[in-house]
Amino acid sequence: MSNFIFGRYLPGNSWIHQMSPQSKLLLSFYFVIVIFFANNIWAYGALSVLILFVVIFSGVSIGYFLKGIRPLIWLIIFTVLLQILFSSGGHVFWHFGPFSISDTSLINGGYIFIRFLLIIMISTVLTLTTTPLAIADGVQTVLKPLKKIRFPVDTLALMLSIALRFVPTLMDEMETILNAQRSRGVDFGSGSLKHRIQAAVPLLVPLFTGAINHAENLSTAMEARGFTDSEHRSKYRVYKWKGKDTISWIVFLLVGVVVLFVRKN
Amino acid sequence: MDKEIRFSKVTHTYQAKTPFAQNALDNVSLTIPAGSFTAIIGHTGSGKSTLVQHINALLKPTSGSIDIFGRTITPNTTNKNLKELRQHVGMVFQFPEKQLFEESVIKDIMFGPKNYGASETEAKSAAVEAMRLVGLDESLEDHSPFDLSGGQMRRVAIAGVLAMKPEVLILDEPTAGLDPRGHKEIMDLAEYLHDQNDMTIILVTHQMDDVIDYASDVVVMDQGEIVKHGRPEEIFAAPKWVYKMHLDLPSSAEFAMKLMDAGVKLTKTPLTIDDLAAEIAKIAGGEGPKE
């Protein structure tokens, strides 16, 4: 678990750290869409080169980065295997019952593999270089147009930032309760399924009551500090669009054009 | 059985081999004698809680080993068969009331003993005894733990640990957030368990008055290392050093320092209220406090 870096923030001051969160969010989203347009080796090559530069510009060492996404590799391999064994068409090399391996299925499997890898890498870069609160702010900015259809963007952003803020707190609390119950003789993660489910009760009940207590205290404290509603608030953290954002967008758009150009129709 | 707790060159690194790696214990060697009342003090983040969590193998050393109750905990120790060790070592965490979960007080206290294989009746009698020890009224038995006051909830939690009849009791800031009366009751309970039941008590605390009043051994930690281990009088003999470790003096010593600054000459630094009274009585030419 401790080697798992997906969804964590690594403090730094790189090019990507300095970009505004809204443009990072939109860029990641855009990148994922472009990935699905790619359908040949050249397009994937262009995207891979781009992601390599992104990782370099994020200031995170590539070795650490690869080690961190390693736990996800099993998920990827599983999906790729399904793709290889069950897709039909093309020249068949080998088949057994419902399973078969053909040249198209191998190529499809390879593409799925690269797609997965690219998506995981871009989203890992996003979370590694952006604090959770900045992500929440970014989401608020990105979703602003939805206010037109009376979607409660500000409330959602508030909930999101509180939720993100309490993830580590609740994780710490879970760890403590886990340890406390362990010292009282609970064996987590062993025995039969029924036993394991029963063992979760001494963990879940305190965790929920703790969360409810937090919510009660937090809402009281917020009201005491003059919070009335989420609509009429000014902002302390302001993320301005910078030159770095513009340059990054230009690069990404160019690569997008290249992908559209080289993809086979 | 050998009941001494021995740390040999224990190092603990959180999230080893990542950019988040944090060295919490650095080459710690320590012997906690059986039947002692050991206080562990140190600045916030000095590694006190990490240290005590090694004693019942909730954490395992990154290198080095710990000998306790005939077991040796090394970096390669697996999570299997640790139950027996944990039964011997009761651990009261900070704000232990957070661990309550059962529908009634008595069931929550019986939870520990039952996990260690006690029968329903054995667990029940252990629970009733533990309730008596911590001073909970029998009529609270069938109440929900969530209906109780904060102080009562903490007692239920402590009773839940005592019901397992541990031989070593670790208390991690057991009085944090309690009123002065609750504070004294919990500390007196620890003293009673130490004196009457011959328990080894390990207390993590920031309250230097408690260290002086109750502890027989003091371990001072700073940045993951043990910088001093001795009797309370030895630890507090050098006020300047104590301040350098970002620690306080017991309040009597603090007061005596102010007296000395104001020109009053005392023969030694008094650590307890009684010592202080005796010193002042000496100057005033009186008899000192009468028992």
- Tell me if B99 and A209 make a contact (CB, 8 A cut-off): no
**Residues B186, B231 share a domain:** yes
B90 neighbourhood in chain A, CB within 8 Å: 183
Low-confidence residues of chain A: pLDDT under 70: 1-7, 88-91, 265
* ipTM of model: 0.87
CA–CA separation, A171 and A139 (whole Å): 23
Q: Is A177 on the interface with B (CB under 8 A)?
A: yes
- Tell me if B86 and A173 make a contact (CB, 8 A cut-off): no
The more confidently predicted of residues B121 and B82 is: B121
**Residues B61, B189 share a domain:** yes
The more confidently predicted of residues B271 and B211 is: B211
Q: Is residue B244 included in any domain, yes or no? A: no
- Tell me if B115 and A184 make a contact (CB, 8 A cut-off): yes
The more confidently predicted of residues B39 and B14 is: B39
Q: Residue B179: CB partners within 8 Å, gap ≥ 6?
A: B151
Give the residue from chain A lying closest to B159, CA to CA: A184
Q: Is residue B278 included in any domain, yes or no? A: yes
Nearest-neighbour CA in chain A from B54: distance (Å): 11
**Residues B184, B151 share a domain:** no
Interface test with B, best of A60, A173, A184, A214 (most B CBs within 10 A): A184
Q: Is A2 on the interface with B (CB under 8 A)?
A: yes
Condensed to tens digits (0 to 9), the pLDDT of residues B222-259 reads: 999 999 999 998 999 888 899 999 999 999 888 888 88
**Residues B110, B53 share a domain:** no
Amino acid identity, residue A89?
G
- Tell me if B19 and A64 make a contact (CB, 8 A cut-off): yes
Q: Is residue B281 included in any domain, yes or no? A: yes
Tally of CB atoms within 10 A around A133: 15
Q: Is residue B140 included in any domain, yes or no? A: yes
pLDDT of residue A3: 54
**Residues B79, B15 share a domain:** yes
Q: Is residue B291 included in any domain, yes or no? A: no
Q: Is residue B7 included in any domain, yes or no? A: yes
CA–CA separation, B38 and B55 (whole Å): 13
Task: Give the domain CATH number at B209.
Answer: 3.40.50.300
pLDDT of residue A17: 84
Nearest-neighbour CA in chain A from B214: distance (Å): 25
Q: Is B121 on the interface with A (CB under 8 A)?
A: no
Q: Is A48 on the interface with B (CB under 8 A)?
A: no
A183 neighbourhood in chain B, CB within 8 Å: 56, 58, 86, 89-91, 161
Look at residue B180 and tell me whether its pLDDT is greater than 80. Answer: yes
pLDDT of residue A7: 64
CA–CA separation, B109 and B130 (whole Å): 8
Look at residue B38 and tell me whether its pLDDT is greater than 60. Answer: yes
Question: How many domains are contained in chain B?
Answer: 3
**Residues B85, B29 share a domain:** yes
Of B164, B191, B211, which marks where a domain is finished? Answer: B164
**Residues B256, B145 share a domain:** no
Nearest-neighbour CA in chain A from B171: distance (Å): 12
- Tell me if B83 and A201 make a contact (CB, 8 A cut-off): no
Of B164, B193, B215, which marks where a domain is finished? Answer: B164
Give the residue from chain B lying closest to A4, CA to CA: B18
Output the DSSP codes for chain A. Answer: -TT--TT------SHHHHS-HHHHHHHHHHHHHHHHH--SHHHHHHHHHHHHHHHHHTT--HHHHHHHHGGGHHHHHHHHHHHHHH---S-EEEEETTEEEEHHHHHHHHHHHHHHHHHHHHHHHHHHHS-HHHHHHHHHHHHGGGGGGT--HHHHHHHHHHHHHHHHHHHHHHHHHHHHHHHTT--TT-S-HHHHHHHHHHHHHHHHHHHHHHHHHHHHHHHHTT---SSS---S------HHHHHHHHHHHHHHHHHHHHS--
pLDDT of residue A59: 86
pLDDT of residue A66: 81
The structure's pTM equals 0.79
**Residues B69, B138 share a domain:** no
Of B164, B189, B207, which marks where a domain is finished? Answer: B164
**Residues B160, B221 share a domain:** no
pLDDT of residue A84: 84
Q: Is residue B272 included in any domain, yes or no? A: yes
Instruction: Identify which of A173, A185, A187 has the shortest CB distance to residue B87.
Output: A185
Q: Is B186 on the interface with A (CB under 8 A)?
A: no
Q: Is residue B217 included in any domain, yes or no? A: yes
Average pLDDT over every residue of B169-197? 92
A190 neighbourhood in chain B, CB within 8 Å: 79-80
The more confidently predicted of residues B133 and A68 is: B133
CA–CA separation, B3 and B200 (whole Å): 9
A10 neighbourhood in chain B, CB within 8 Å: 19
Instruction: Identify which of A2, A5, A181 has the shortest CB distance to residue B99.
Output: A181
Q: Is A183 on the interface with B (CB under 8 A)?
A: yes
**Residues B275, B256 share a domain:** yes
**Residues B182, B159 share a domain:** no
Look at residue B32 and tell me whether its pLDDT is greater than 70. Answer: yes
**Residues B263, B137 share a domain:** no
Q: Is B122 on the interface with A (CB under 8 A)?
A: no
pLDDT of residue A163: 87
The more confidently predicted of residues B129 and B77 is: B129
pLDDT band at B290 (very low <50, low <70, confident <90, very high): low
Q: Is A211 on the interface with B (CB under 8 A)?
A: no
Condensed to tens digits (0 to 9), the pLDDT of residues B63-84 reads: 999 999 888 999 988 887 788 8
pLDDT of residue B147: 92
Q: Is B93 on the interface with A (CB under 8 A)?
A: yes
Residue keyed to tokens 């150009």 = A261
Residue keyed to tokens 């781009």 = A50
What range does the domain containing B266 cover? 250-286
Give the residue from chain A lying closest to B97, CA to CA: A206
pLDDT of residue A90: 67
Query: Considering only CA atoms, which of B120, B94, B96 is closest in space to residue B107?
Result: B120
Look at phi and psi of residue B246 and say left if phi exceeds 0, alpha if psi is from -120 to 50, else beta: left
Give the residue from chain A lying closest to B20, CA to CA: A10
Picking from A27-31, B105-109, B268-272, which range would have the lowest pLDDT averaged per residue? B268-272
CA–CA separation, A187 and B63 (whole Å): 25
Interface test with A, best of B99, B170, B202 (most A CBs within 10 A): B99
CA–CA separation, A259 and A40 (whole Å): 9
pLDDT of residue A1: 42
Cβ-Cβ contacts under 8 Å between A and B: the total is: 67
A63-72, B2-11, B29-38: range with highest mean pLDDT: B29-38
